[in-house]
Amino acid sequence: MPIYELNGKRPRIHHTARVLDGAVVAGDVVVGPAVFLSWGAIVYAEEATLEIARGVCIGDGALVHCKENPIRIGEFALIGHGAQVCAGSVEDFGRVGINAVVLEGACVVEDSMLAADSLLLPGKRTSPGMMWAGRPAGPAEELGTADKNRKSAESRAFERLQIFNSLLPIDLQSVRFDF
């Protein structure tokens, strides 16, 4: 897992966070407890602080970065595979779908969701309890009760960590075979 100093700032990663191989963390990034950064995830801060709060999951190949303004990814937020959060923010229990994009100054607010492949334009804010979808994104539908269950989000975060903490690197020679 590459960890880099950027502009004289180094990441700080909580001892309970899980950063998988291939993930990159650079600059003034604070990775909180029980955070999960999957394979190929890239998180970096150019000039300001990027805070990734407790229980956040950043999926395979996702990108999260901040420029000159501090950014926070809130508690138990989920950022899907291939999603991009480019100087935008995600509040507690907010979700960004697979390949969705959150642009500068935009915000996925608490208990809301940006659907897969959607684009949240600069400065836009989703609505609490709503899923936003489209390019550009707008209100699409109200989230059901199950989607708003915070206890469920918390337990899934800790289950995810348990699963990935059980990964054991193996030697390539032990899995090769001939046809």
Asked if residue 179 belongs to a domain, the reply is no
Region 3-15: mean pLDDT is 95
**Which tens digit of pLDDT belongs to each residue from 111-134?**
999 999 999 999 999 999 999 999
How much is the average pLDDT of 1-20? Answer: 93
Cα distances from 129 to residues 26, 109, 146, in angstroms, run: 33, 9, 11
Supply the pLDDT for residue 68.
93
Residue 155 lies in a domain: yes
Query: What local confidence, expressed as pLDDT, does residue 138 receive?
Result: 96
In this structure, is residue 108 part of a structural domain? yes
Q: What is the pTM of this model?
A: 0.87
**Structural domain contains residue 157:** yes
Q: Which amino acid appears at position 177 of this protein?
A: F
Average pLDDT on 39-49 reads: 96
Across residues 46-50, what is the average pLDDT?
A: 96
Which of 29-38, 104-113, 154-163 has the weakest average pLDDT?
154-163
Number of domains in the chain: 1
Q: What domain range is 22 assigned to?
A: 3-174
Residue with token string 């508690």: 75
What 3-state class would DSSP assign to 58? strand
The reply to whether 163 falls in a domain is yes
CB 67, CB 87: distance < 8 Å: yes
For residue 81, being part of any structural domain is answered with: yes
CA distance 84 to 88: 9
Amino acid (one-letter) located at 57? C
In a domain, 97, yes or no: yes
Cβ(90)–Cβ(76) below 8 Å: no
Residue 172: per-residue pLDDT: 67
Q: Give the mean pLDDT of the chain.
A: 90
The CATH number of the domain holding residue 47 is 2.160.10.10
* Contacts made by residues 73-80, CB under 8 angstroms, sequence distance 24+: 74/110, 76/150, 76/153, 76/154, 76/157, 77/53, 77/108, 78/153, 80/116
The whole-number average pLDDT for the span 81-86 is 98
pLDDT for 130-159, tens place per residue? 999 999 999 999 987 655 556 666 666 667
Question: Is residue 100 in some structural domain?
Answer: yes
